[in-house]
Structure 1
Amino acid sequence: MDEIKNLIEKGKKLLDEGKTNEALYYLQVAAKNNPEYADIHNYMGSALSILGRYDEAVKSFLKSIEINPRYIEAHVNLGLTYSLMGKIEEAEREFAIVEELEVSRSKTDKEIGFSAKAKIANLHKDIGLLYLEIKMYDEAIDEFRKALRLTPDFPDISFYLAKALSEKGDIDSSIKLLETLTKEKPDFISAYLLLGRCYYKIGDKKKAKEIWEEGHKIDPTNKKLSSYLKMLEGKDEL
């Protein structure tokens, strides 16, 4: 048993150091000698996923979960790998399982630790970004809202929600979110950029200019803000 533990620790250490192929070798040796150890298959899956061998990674994570169905990290890693493969429905299923497992650890949702909430929120954010990339705006909005219910103070998630709303065409809702975000996080330059674009889209170029000028005062070196302001002076289109 000590030999197996040493192989696992060696593999994990190499994985953390970025020596993925070497890590995989030690983990495969460990798995051959002790195939019913859930951690081994989870770490093997992580190594395989990093190497882009997604189908093999999925098999490893599924084996880990077969051994221990409540292994949260394996479900998380499986979901992330599905995301990389573009299998959004499968990824969502795994993230839903993660959320259920985290909640079941406590008597009420309020008792879930912040780190667990943050982890789940970031999973929803990642899925939302995938939906946003393929222009499935309603699904993206739903994922970002799920994330915000868990971590309402994460400004990047609010920003992505505003972006999804804007791209869907719900400019008013996007503006409302971004106005709040720029007040609460005045150094969040991306929010000024998007807020100005929203006003520009509805034809309020004066307000767009005010927003971009406000952002430019905070970050005078921002090239995109400078180009937007020059565009308004030249009456070019975005």
Structure 2
Amino acid sequence: MSSEQNRVANARHLFERGLYAEALNELRMAVGEGREYPDVYNLMGLCNSMNSDYKVAVSYYQKALELNPAYEEARLNLLITLSDLGKYKEADAELTAMLASTKIRSDELSPAIKSRLAEGYRELAALELEMGRIEQAERLINEAVELAPSYVDLLVFRGKILRRGGRLSEAEEVLERAIALNPNYQNGQLELGLVHFQQGAYDTAKGHLQKARDLSKGTSREAELYMSFLKSRTEEKRGQGV
């Protein structure tokens, strides 16, 4: 193994231990010794992102993409960082280009890369949902689920996006699948409860919300809020003799 390869390997170990400045120093020396590859610049960007030096991180992700425009992980990192900087127009342009591009087949990716990419798509979907852009959020979470179809948290987030978009039957189907994989996933029970609540199936909603509250050991404020509403509704109906 060459000197620059040793530096990159050492940098990865340092990064995994949370020693970002030290990892970045190793990578700079590797680049100085001729190791100018997309994965190196992407890792340099990640080191800067973890140290909250987002503007510098952007320059490294862009350098990685100059060397390999099809480097999906670097583009995801760039998108997330641009969003963190509030540069939404630039992020939108990158997002449009990425979703229109031909993807690497998922069966050609290692499980670790699939997991990282799926998490990147989920994070971007969360940003889009926060801005009220349901359609974009759905496209992104679908990309994530395609990469990691058995990840319960991704299925639940997909269900949440569908619920927020008013597609309750589809949301219910996705969330039922997630709950079947892990009945004790708190957010899954909560989201399914909210779907049934919005459908007017209050008794069914109560069961899932109660389960979410129990799993959270009473810390789920959303479950508590809806449970309180259902309790008040029941008491009101009793008072009316219904």
TM bin (shorter chain):
0.7 to 0.9
Deviations 1:21-43 (A, max 9, x none): 23323333443443745454333
Structure 2 stretches lacking a partner, 5+ long: 235-242
Q: CA deviation at 1:231?
A: 4.1
Alpha-carbon offset, residue 156 of structure 1: 1.6
Structure 1 unaligned segments of length 5 or more: list them: 104-108
Residue 11 of structure 1 and its aligned partner are, at CA, apart by 3.6
Distance in 1 (CA, whole Å) between partners of 2:85 and 2:43 is 19
Q: What is the identity, as a one-letter code, of the residue corresponding to 1:233?
A: K
Counterpart for residue 231 of structure 2: 233
Alignment of 1:138-217 (within 5 A): 138-213=135-210, 215=211
Q: CA deviation at 1:184?
A: 4.2
Whether the aligned pair in 1 keeps the contact of 2:155 and 2:174 (CA below 8 Å) is yes
Summarize the Cα distance change of 1:232–1:120 in structure 2 as closer, same or farther, 3 Å threshold.
same
| TM, length-normalised to structure 1 | 0.73
Shift of 1:129: 1.4
**83-92 or 160-169: bigger deviation:** 83-92
- In the TM superposition, residue 73 of structure 1 has moved relative to its aligned partner by 5.0
**Structure 2 length as normaliser, TM-score?**
0.72
- When structure 1 is superposed on structure 2, of 63-72 and 201-210 the one drifting more is 63-72
Aligned-pair distance for 1:117? 4.4
- Do the aligned partners of 1:98 and 1:120 also contact (CA within 8 Å) in 2? no
Correspondence for 1:89: 92
Q: Which moved more, 1:30-39 or 1:196-205?
A: 30-39
- How many positions carry a matched residue from both structures? 228
Q: Could you tell me the percent identity over the aligned residues?
A: 24
Find the aligned partners of 2:146 and 2:185 in 1 and give their Cα distance.
21
Query: Could you tell me how far apart the structure 1 residues matched to 2:124 and 2:216 are?
Result: 34
Aligned-partner SS, 1:135: coil
Residue aligning to 1:123? 120
Equivalent pair of 1:79/1:90 in contact (CA under 8 Å): no
| Aligned residue in 1 for 2:41 | 41
After superposition, the C-alpha distances for 1:91-120 in whole angstroms (9 at most, x for unaligned) are 5357559962x32xxxxx6x4356254444
CA shift for structure 1 position 132: 1.0
